[in-house]
Copies of this chain bind each other. A is one copy, B any other.
């Protein structure tokens, strides 16, 4: 495998821990919320900050790449050996919206370390997990005595992931030459838990839409007119309620077309994990499970597609009553997709389904966000073994198991465009609260991420050079 002494990586990491955390905190202070136009300048600032930091880290190439939306960052550090394999690390520098009044106990953009946890929007999703690569590559060099990484190392850190990566695929296509790689390493997922380190092998895709429904030209009196005209809030509710049947299966015709079924082997791997429903519910901050009949909770979140309402609104939502038929209502829906589903086909199916269900007298406007493809790492890929070994070393020899992620990322676009397999390397844990108030990252795990990245490049360089024909999918 590799000659890198594990203790050298750990010593280097510990030595630079304080500066690393201080730098990360500086980045987290930039509210790079890509979904909110008022934060456009912050997203740009975040990109510029990162590009400068990567240059300081030692990447000879570090550039801000423009898109029609928010900018991405690209950095490149060639190996000394021109024949070394190439690795492209993917992450994102934009974050979900966050406001103190959503229930945060600290300012979401003023990072605080409390009991070994770094709290801030983006701490885990995804700035923390991008940032461990900066110290990771330095530790790799320090421990091996190299002046350049063992692989041609490239980073592509996008700025629109939390907005559905609307320009990512086009960017990847336009820059395919510079992005060319043997494997993609996605650092935007997590592990099973603090004590069960795992490697993710797949992510769900995503399609989402907003439906605006317009009924009366203004709010009208529910006594004078109620019972005789269509109510757009009722129509909104009927759309949402109609999404599922009694078995919690999605009813939209064609929705399940092409879905890759779970194999028995995969179901067994899932079942090996120390799943505890009560603990999982605590992480989900939920008080009950509900999902598609015939599937376990892990199967439901990792391997089955969903339809979910993210927001619904219409009429009077203030205190007291207001006896109106509202003029309008809105629904935000998102669909998680699994391998074999095509987001474009889903959009067509959803559009047709909605058109059939909106009654006369209600006008509607349907808009889709950018979609994200599902992806799945081949379980037999040799590079996956490298990730497992690197992680096991960082975790003091622990057995590394396999998971999937219910969330979505544009990794599948890189797979498609670059023809390279996708691997996942993430150290976030379910309690990190992605997209939620009080998002945090465990500082100890963040440093395990640094160590894993530090071990990985040497191992991958060896493994990939040995693999003549790499399977791709």
- Are B288 and A222 interface neighbours, CB within 8 A? no
Q: With CB as the reference atom, state the residue of chain B lying closest to A315.
A: B311
Question: What 1/0 mask marks residues of chain A from 372 to 416 whose CB sits below 8 Å from any chain B CB?
Answer: 000000000000000000000000000000000111100000000
Q: Which residues of B contact A281 (CB under 8 A)?
A: 229
CB within 8 Å for A227 and B361 given contacts A163-B321, A219-B436: no
Are A435 and B220 in touch, CB under 8 angstroms?
A: yes
Q: A224 is contacted by which of B230, B317, B321, B407 (Cβ under 8 Å)?
A: B407
Assess the B35–A221 pair: CB atoms within 8 A. no
Contact B287 A227 (CB under 8 A): no
| CB-based nearest B residue for A438 | B218
Which of B223, B286, B406 is the one whose CB lies under 8 Å from A227? B406
Partner of A329, one of B163, B292, B312, B332: B312
A427 within 8 A of partner (CB): no
* Given A222-B310, A322-B435, A336-B222, A288-B362 contact (CB < 8 Å): yes
Interface stretch (choices A5-13, A24-32, A43-51, A231-239) = A231-239
Q: Across the interface, which residues of B come within 8 angstroms of A227, CB to CB?
A: 291-292, 300-301, 304-306, 308, 336, 406
Identify the interface centre among A102, A225, A239, A311: most chain B CB within 10 Å of its CB: A225
A340 interfacial contact with B, CB 8 Å = no
**Cβ contact within 8 Å between A233 and B289:** no
Of the listed residues A242, A305, A334, A433, the one surrounded by the most CB atoms of chain B closer than 10 A to its CB is A334
A319 touches B215 (CB 8 A): no
Kindly identify which residue among B237, B305, B310, B316 contacts A322, using a CB–CB cutoff of 8 Å. B310
Q: Is A68 an interface residue (CB 8 A)?
A: no
Chain B residues with CB under 8 Å of A216's CB are 284-287
Asked whether, in the complex, the Cβ of B359 is within 8 Å of the Cβ of A219, the reply is no
Interface membership of A471, Cβ < 8 A: no
- Given A236-B312, A301-B226, A309-B237: A288 touches B329 (CB 8 Å cut-off): no
Known: A164-B321, A311-B317. A334 touches B222 (CB 8 A): yes
A249 CB to nearest B CB, Å:
11
The answer, yes or no, to whether A255 is at the interface (CB within 8 Å) is no
Whether B288 pairs with A359 at a CB distance below 8 angstroms is yes
Question: At the interface, yes or no: A36 with Cβ under 8 Å from chain B?
Answer: yes
Residue-wise, chain A 142-174 has the 8 Å CB interface mask toward B (1 for contact) of: 000000000000000000000110000000000
Q: Which of A238, A244, A300, A320 has the most CB of B within 10 A?
A: A320
Least distance between A131 CB and chain B CB atoms (Å): 21
Q: Tell me if A208 and B300 are in contact (CB < 8 A).
A: no
A227 to B302, CA, bound (A): 9
Number of residues in A with C-beta < 8 Å to the partner?
100
B residues within 8 A CB of A201?
Answer: none
Query: Would A311 and B326 count as touching, CB distance under 8 A?
Result: yes
Q: Which residues of B contact A305 (CB under 8 A)?
A: 227
Assess the B284–A223 pair: CB atoms within 8 A.
no
| Contact among B228, B320, B325, B327 for A289, CB-based, below 8 A | B228
Contact with B along A292-307 (1 / 0, CB 8 A): 1000010011001110
The chain B residue sitting closest to A241, CB to CB, is B241
Interface string of A322-344 (1 = CB under 8 A from B): 11111101101010100000000
Chain A interface residues (CB < 8 Å from chain B): 35-37, 96-97, 102-103, 163-164, 203-204, 206, 208, 210, 215-231, 233-234, 236-244, 281, 284-292, 297, 300-301, 304-306, 308-327, 329-330, 332, 334, 336, 359-363, 369, 405-408, 430, 433-438
28 pairs, A vs B, C-beta closer than 8 Å: A35-B322, A36-B318, A97-B322, A103-B218, A163-B321, A206-B223, A216-B285, A217-B285, A219-B437, A222-B310, A223-B406, A225-B406, A226-B306, A227-B300, A227-B306, A233-B311, A234-B241, A234-B308, A237-B238, A237-B309, A285-B327, A287-B360, A290-B360, A290-B361, A310-B316, A310-B322, A312-B329, A317-B330
Add 18 more A-B contacts to A224-B284, A289-B361, A309-B314 (CB < 8 A).
A36-B320, A97-B322, A215-B287, A216-B284, A219-B435, A221-B407, A222-B308, A225-B286, A227-B292, A227-B304, A227-B306, A230-B286, A233-B240, A234-B243, A237-B312, A310-B322, A311-B326, A312-B314
In the A-B complex, the 8 residue pairs with the closest CB atoms: A288-B361, A223-B407, A241-B241, A237-B240, A35-B320, A311-B315, A227-B306, A217-B285
